[in-house]
Chains A and B, each alone.
Chain A
Amino acid sequence: MRRSWPAALVLALAASAFAGEIPQAERRSGYDFMSRQTRAMQDDDPTNPGMLWVLEGETLWKQKPAAGRACADCHGDARTSMKGVAARHPSFDRAKKRPVSLEQRINACRVGRQQAASMPHESRELLALTAYVARQSRGLPIETAVDEPVRPFLDAGRAIWERRQGQLNLSCSQCHDDLWGKQLAGNVIPQAHPTGYPLYRLEWQSLGSLERRLRNCLVGMRAEPYPYGAPEMVDLSLFLMWRARGMTLESPAVRP
């Protein structure tokens, strides 16, 4: 008893220093919190509604926009060229001097290299291309590079995660770090790892992006939802992907 007391103190201090952070080994995808039936919907490509967007994306990949080149003209077969890309986004964009999301990266190509218009957020085309690209990383571990240029944005994302916001004065961390696994109004609180985006959400009856889900969360918390593509949105997405580093990407996933 006496000999273990200092050890217990060290453990207690360590626990408070990383207050709330889920230990790496205990991290679980939202998949694990779903019912057997919803998992079955995701597991089988012929039954996964997200595949409708992936197939559309495959068509768009090869289609030339009015004036410019098709994605395939530069990138060839997406199965090889896009492998790992979604698992590494958001990633640092040297020209913009900040991290960008996969959607922003695709639009940058669309405008800058394909002489086509930017695709609106949550539009059918942007979702289809993002789903198609993300599908090529399915089964791969999430690996967000955290080198010096990215660090301040990662810290900004973490600050948003930990900050109490909105009318309910809740932080993301309170539910998703401290209370995951418990029930909220009949549903289990997941750990909130973006392991399957873009995903088919039964609530939306459609495929949607991580940013759409984050806006939903913020509205649910009665906090101001950041606009699509806002720096806060990308910083938070970056932090979430970093928090889920090493976990397997399931895109396109299905979630309730």
Chain B
Amino acid sequence: MNRREFLRATGGFAAGIGALIAVEPASATPAAMQDAIRQVVGSARVSAGRVKLDLPPLSENGNAVPLTVSVESAMTQADHVKAIHVFNEKNPQPDVVSFHLGPRAGRATVSTRIRLADTQTVVAIAELSDGSFWSARAAVVVTLAACLEDA
């Protein structure tokens, strides 16, 4: 399907997600993740940029994949990151975690460890105090332990 057909098919989502789809029409993100993102951003536009999502491109074990997300922001009362939401494509649920920050954070950098059920793309969306939304995505290849075991 070409880009025009794709955008028409995703209908309302296209207007909501805006740049997110327009930037990468070829990798169609699954509907559940789109839905979850929409729950958070509503009808606002999401722009790619300002967010850095640090994930290993190859994970040794999907049970604990280290993740660090940081957003360029002065973190002042007037201009700060309110929240960072992380989503995934192929786990049973699209939501991973939501971090709520504010000017008291000093720096918009948070680290955690996540579970990834399969090789997939992870998306981080930052919500700024001025109401704008920014995003980044990263692809992770997930390998499993070699000798499948149960003892």
**Within 8 Å by CB, do A and B touch in the complex?**
yes
Q: Which of B33-41, B45-53, B125-133, B143-151 contacts A (4 or more CB under 8 A)?
A: B143-151
Residue of B56, B144, B149 contacting most chain A CB atoms (<10 Å): B149
Q: Which of A31-39, A79-87, A144-152 contacts B (4 or more CB under 8 A)?
A: A31-39
Q: Is the CB of A187 within 8 A of B151?
A: no
What is the minimal beta-carbon distance from B79 to any residue of chain A, in angstroms? 31
Q: Bound complex: CA of A251 vs CA of B50, how far in Å?
A: 39
Question: Is the CB of A13 closer than 8 A to any CB of chain B?
Answer: no
Proximity bits, B44-67, A CB within 8 Å = 1, else 0: 000000000000101111011010
9 A-B pairs besides A37-B56, A187-B143 with CB distance below 8 A are A185-B144, A186-B143, A189-B146, A203-B145, A205-B64, A215-B151, A217-B149, A219-B149, A256-B60
Question: Is the CB of A139 closer than 8 A to any CB of chain B?
Answer: no
B63 contact set on A, CB distance < 8 A: 202-203, 205
Proximity bits, B107-151, A CB within 8 Å = 1, else 0: 000000000000000000000000000000000000111111111
Within 8 A of B (CB), among A8-67: 34-38, 40-41
Q: What's the tally of chain A residues with a CB closer than 8 Å to chain B?
A: 25
Q: Is the CB of A219 within 8 A of B60?
A: no
Q: Is the CB of A216 within 8 A of B151?
A: yes
Return 18 A-B CB contacts under 8 Å, by A number.
A34-B60, A35-B58, A35-B59, A35-B60, A40-B66, A185-B143, A185-B144, A186-B146, A187-B60, A187-B146, A202-B64, A205-B63, A216-B149, A217-B149, A218-B151, A220-B146, A256-B60, A256-B145
A212 contact set on B, CB distance < 8 A: 151
Q: Bound complex: CA of A34 vs CA of B145, how far in Å?
A: 12
Q: Is the CB of A216 within 8 A of B60?
A: no
What is the minimal beta-carbon distance from A32 to any residue of chain B, in angstroms? 13
A185 contact set on B, CB distance < 8 A: 143-144, 146
- On A, residues with C-beta under 8 Å from B are 34-38, 40-41, 184-187, 189, 202-203, 205, 212, 215-221, 225, 256
B56 contact set on A, CB distance < 8 A: 35-37
What is the minimal beta-carbon distance from B8 to any residue of chain A, in angstroms? 39
Q: Bound complex: CA of A205 vs CA of B62, how far in Å?
A: 11
B66 contact set on A, CB distance < 8 A: 37, 40-41
B61 contact set on A, CB distance < 8 A: 202-203, 256
Residue of B58, B60, B148 contacting most chain A CB atoms (<10 Å): B60
Residue of B66, B144, B145 contacting most chain A CB atoms (<10 Å): B145
Q: Bound complex: CA of A203 vs CA of B144, how far in Å?
A: 8
Q: Can you name the residue of chain B whose Cβ is closest to the Cβ of A256?
A: B60
What is the minimal beta-carbon distance from A105 to any residue of chain B, in angstroms? 23
What is the minimal beta-carbon distance from B150 to any residue of chain A, in angstroms? 6
A219 contact set on B, CB distance < 8 A: 147, 149-151
Q: Bound complex: CA of A116 vs CA of B16, how far in Å?
A: 64
What is the minimal beta-carbon distance from B57 to any residue of chain A, in angstroms? 10
Q: Is the CB of B151 within 8 A of A202?
A: no
Residue of B143, B144, B151 contacting most chain A CB atoms (<10 Å): B151
Q: Can you name the residue of chain A whose Cβ is closest to the Cβ of B62?
A: A202
B149 contact set on A, CB distance < 8 A: 203, 215-217, 219-220
Q: Bound complex: CA of A41 vs CA of B59, how far in Å?
A: 13
Q: Bound complex: CA of A107 vs CA of B34, how far in Å?
A: 54
Q: Is the CB of B147 within 8 A of A220?
A: yes
B148 contact set on A, CB distance < 8 A: 220
Q: Is the CB of B145 within 8 A of A187?
A: yes
Q: Bound complex: CA of A187 vs CA of B60, how far in Å?
A: 7
Q: Bound complex: CA of A220 vs CA of B150, how far in Å?
A: 9
